[in-house]
Chains A and B, each alone.
Chain A
Amino acid sequence: MTRELLEGNYAMAEAAVRAGVEAYFGYPITPQTEILEWMSHRMPEVGRAFLQAESEVAAINMLYGAACTGARVMSSSSSPGVSLMMEGLSYIAGTELPVVLIDVVRGGPGLGNIAPSQGDYNQIVHGGGHGDYFPIVLAPASVQEAIDLTVLAFDLAEKYRSLAFVMADGSVGQMMEPAELPEMRPVRKERPDWAVTGAVGRERRILSSIYLNVELEEKTNFRLLERWYEVEKNEIRYREYYLDDAEFVIVGFGTAGRIALSAVRAARAEGIKVGLLRPVTVSPFPAAQVAELAQKAQAMLVVEMNTGQMLNDVLRIVKGACPIEFYGRMGGVVPYPDEILNEIHRITREPVSPDGDPRLRWMQRFTPGRGQ
């Protein structure tokens, strides 16, 4: 295979086709509608199921039904649409079904806008649907990673009978980059032993998320938790840049992470020993890596395109081992590398307070976009 110039949304859609997705249900919403459009011609072309649902609510429940048959299935949406899907996602988690959902995150809350954002971190990583469940969340920063992680999402979803999200943003979805698509995999023919396919020559099967018996529900909660610890043990992925001798460490995922890479390179050119950790799985989160980096870092800078939703996780992990600063842009504003470079200059030139609230400090020193 050769590298082609591919748009992120089309690339994720075609990657899913090549990973053997058997059914896609979706609803138009910017900035991910190209996924729906690609699937609308591609899925029938390869003899698989495509349906434009009447709403995201219907789409996620069609997906729920399709997943019950043991087939490889997916949907895609963007932030407000994913909010609508939350009920269904909780049911899917409670029924322990493998389902892949791509969220191309946009500015919010509310109708917000269609520009790139990371404001769905809490909604996706820390639930959003009701009850205790633990989704796998993969955060691509490039078109190639979006392809690779879409394929991986199916494998992980099936391995752990889990929800697997690809949490991209409008930038990854709309950007074109050279990337290589995987070979076409054959569609998996065999069905898992829990799949509902008609009770031909076997006992009937029931798939449900209802456990009126509280002990059984608690047992289910334990089962999900135990499975999650397996995921945490096996599936943490991240990228490291210039960390070997780094005295200062930036943590950022997805687009914010790759923008930080430009700032790190510029700082390195000035002789500043700064490195970058870019979590690829934001759930499970590379907690041990962050904790270890905090042990040797003079200061850490968390960069996000939200108000610091991942910052909360980093603070919890670092437990004061090193001072932390935060820099965020929100509402669909994408930071430029020079903004992050300024932050690098600041934390390397002035001592960073080990106390207090990094988010509050950021808010107080941040002037652009605040209407002053």
Chain B
Amino acid sequence: MQTEIVIAGFGGQGALFAGQILAFAAIDSGLDVTWMPSYGPEMRGGTANCTVVIADEEIGSPLVRHAKAAVVLNLPSLEKYEPLLAKDGVLIVNASLVNRSVTRSDVDGLLIPAQEIAETIGNRRLTNMVMLGALVQKLPVLPLKAIEDALNNHLPERHRRMLPSNLEALRQGAAYARGELKVEGVGLGALEPTETVAPTSV
């Protein structure tokens, strides 16, 4: 059994870190995992993405053409990964920065105003965790508890004080995916990316 997840966005949106938390959760759950980043010029201000492969046996390729899930944090990533997603795949879209809906009907798409949710919790940098919470709600690869434990165990020491808000972001993302969280007065593309924040990495 193997599951592949692509997480993509602008550099600084925490795509790589979200992938690492997913990878930590997989290891701590006794699974095999690979985390493969895009690296090089694009990580210095452009797009950043990583592919996480989770399996219960030795993993072959760390990259796949058609991933089972894609977490897209901005419009260019939606344009790139929606057509590539496997049939019946899960597509989590950061509606805060995207001005269109999911066009494919053969995938399970979720538009989530992740950045607004993160801002109501208190920090835009939590967008990646809101998205991750929504992903694990939609994709039965790892339970939310495993992600929470991974954050608890692997959040870098200098960010420890951010742990409660990170956990809250995960839970609100999952709640939104379950239809239990309503966010008032936001629509597609309500926000523009105004700044690139320093990437959070392990």
Contacts and interface: CB of A to CB of B under 8 A. Distances in A.
Given A115-B40, A176-B34, A5 B60 contact: no
Contacts of A5: 20, 23-24, 27, 33, 35, 154, 202
B36 interface: yes
Nearest to A339: B65
Contact of B35 (A176, A259, A265): A176
B62 A338 contact: no
Interface stretch (A154-162, A167-175, A221-229, A316-324): A167-175
B87 to A, nearest CB: 14
Nearest to A266: B60
Nearest to A3: B27
B109 interface: no
A178 B65 contact: no
A177 interface: yes
Contacts of A30: 39-40
B168 interface: no
A38 to B, nearest CB: 14
Contact of A338 (B40, B65, B154): B65
A99 interface: no
A337 B40 contact: no
B39 A31 contact: yes
B86 to A, nearest CB: 11
Contacts of B36: 171, 174-176
Interface in A224-280: 255, 258-265
B110 to A, nearest CB: 26
B149 interface: no
B60 A261 contact: yes
B40 A178 contact: no
Contacts of A194: none
A334 B63 contact: yes
A174 B20 contact: no
Nearest to A261: B60
Nearest to A336: B65
B89 interface: no
Contact of B39 (A170, A262, A265): A170
A337 B27 contact: no
A337 B37 contact: no
Contacts of B202: 5
Given A5-B23, A5-B24, A261-B61, A177 B40 contact: no
Contacts of B20: 5, 176
A250 to B, nearest CB: 11
B61 A177 contact: no
Contacts of A255: 62
Contact of B34 (A4, A114, A175, A260): A175
B39 A114 contact: yes
Contact of B62 (A113, A114, A171, A264): A171
A63 B148 CA distance: 46
Q: Which of A114, A176, A261 has the most CB of B within 10 A?
A: A176
Contacts of A258: 59-62
Contact of A336 (B34, B58, B64): B64
B108 interface: no
Contacts of B58: 261
Contacts of A262: 59-61, 64
Contacts of B40: 30-31, 113-115
Nearest to B23: A5
12 contacts: A5-B20, A31-B39, A170-B39, A174-B37, A174-B39, A175-B36, A258-B62, A262-B60, A263-B60, A263-B61, A336-B61, A336-B65
Interface of B: 20, 23-24, 27, 32-37, 39-40, 58-66, 154, 202
Given A5-B154, A174-B37, 6 more contacts: A30-B39, A31-B39, A115-B40, A174-B39, A176-B35, A258-B60
